[in-house]
Amino acid sequence: MKGYKILRDHFNTVTYSENHMKLLQQKRERSKKLLEMFAKEGLNPFIYGSIARGDVHNDSDIDMVLIQTIAPYQIEIILDKNGFNY
């Protein structure tokens, strides 16, 4: 990797405000509901992105990945069946 410097053993301490922690908790609770909903259907998604990192803001979405192949309409059925309006 000529010309690129690789950052190793990088640690960054971040302090969040009380409001930010409340928002993060709300986003993670909603993510947990999604994970449980898909797990009931035999799928095991993972949450990644800002919610996993903790750097959320009001407009942060929930980034979820399914390792299994699943048709988009099946995802819509699962969401609809569980009252998620997306």
Task: Give residue 36's domain range.
Answer: 18-81
Q: What is the count of structural domains for the chain?
A: 1
pLDDT for residue 11? 77
For residue 60, tell me if it sits in a domain. yes
- Per residue in 2-55, pLDDT (tens digit) is 677 777 777 777 788 999 999 999 999 999 999 999 999 999 999 999 999 999
- Verdict on whether the full-model pTM lies above 0.85: no
The verdict on residue 9 lying in a domain is no
| DSSP-assigned letter for residue 67 | S
pLDDT at 74 > cutoff 60: yes
- Band of pLDDT at residue 86, cut at 50, 70 and 90: low
State residue 28's pLDDT score.
96
Tell me if 54 is assigned to some domain: yes
Question: Is 38 among the domain residues?
Answer: yes
Whether residue 46 lies inside any domain: the answer is yes
Whether residue 1 is contained in a domain is answered as: no
Sign of CA dihedral 34, 38, 40, 44: negative
DSSP annotation string for 18-69: HHHHHHHHHHHHHHHHHHHHHHHTT---EEETHHHHT---TT---EEE-SS-
Asked whether residue 86 is domain-assigned, the answer is: no
Cβ-contact 60, 27 below 8 angstroms: yes
